[in-house]
Amino acid sequence: MKEKTLYVVIAGCGAVGGRIAGHLSSMGHSVVVIDRDEKAFNNLPWEYSGFKIRGDVAEIENLKMAKLKNADAFLALTDDDNTNFMVTQVAKKIYNVPMVLARVNDPSNLKLFEEAGVLVVSPVILTVQFILSFFLGEDAERKRKV
């Protein structure tokens, strides 16, 4: 049985957005990526077969053009938390997108996003956890030896 193709709209085509768009597209999903900077599309892999919209994600026309109302998932991955917050609220409340996820650049904003019912990813927190795992690993190792 063929797996369902998801329709995914991605705001922001930086180092993260471009890679995600490439991966999802190669997995067979339908992807639209929006960025106001034409150069950002250089972050897409050459084999990317989805759509690209050049424009400000904070302008509702661009979200309409991306057919956000049909999206199964919306990912707000710009480097600006205010923009990410605003567009995730549009995706959730106006377009009822089932899965809405935001990159939260400043960890002090995490609570705001979570209280608004948005899935979050914090590059800072992930990086901190990864580094600490080396030290916690050493501690665990030491405890086993004691």
**Interface positions with a second copy (CB under 8 A):** 1, 3-4, 6, 15-16, 19-20, 23-24, 27, 29, 73, 75, 77, 99, 101, 103, 106-107, 119, 121, 123-124, 126-128, 130-132, 134-135, 138-139, 142-143, 146
Nearer to a second copy, 46 or 134 (CB): 134
In the complex, the smallest distance separating the C-beta of residue 24 from a second copy, rounded to whole angstroms, is 6
From residue 53, alpha-carbon distances to 13, 37, 132, 136 in Å are 10, 10, 39, 44
Pairing of strands 7-11, 30-35: parallel
The position carrying tokens 């030290």 is 135
Torsional sign, CA 27, 23, 112, 92: negative
In the complex, the smallest distance separating the C-beta of residue 70 from a second copy, rounded to whole angstroms, is 17
In the complex, the smallest distance separating the C-beta of residue 1 from a second copy, rounded to whole angstroms, is 5
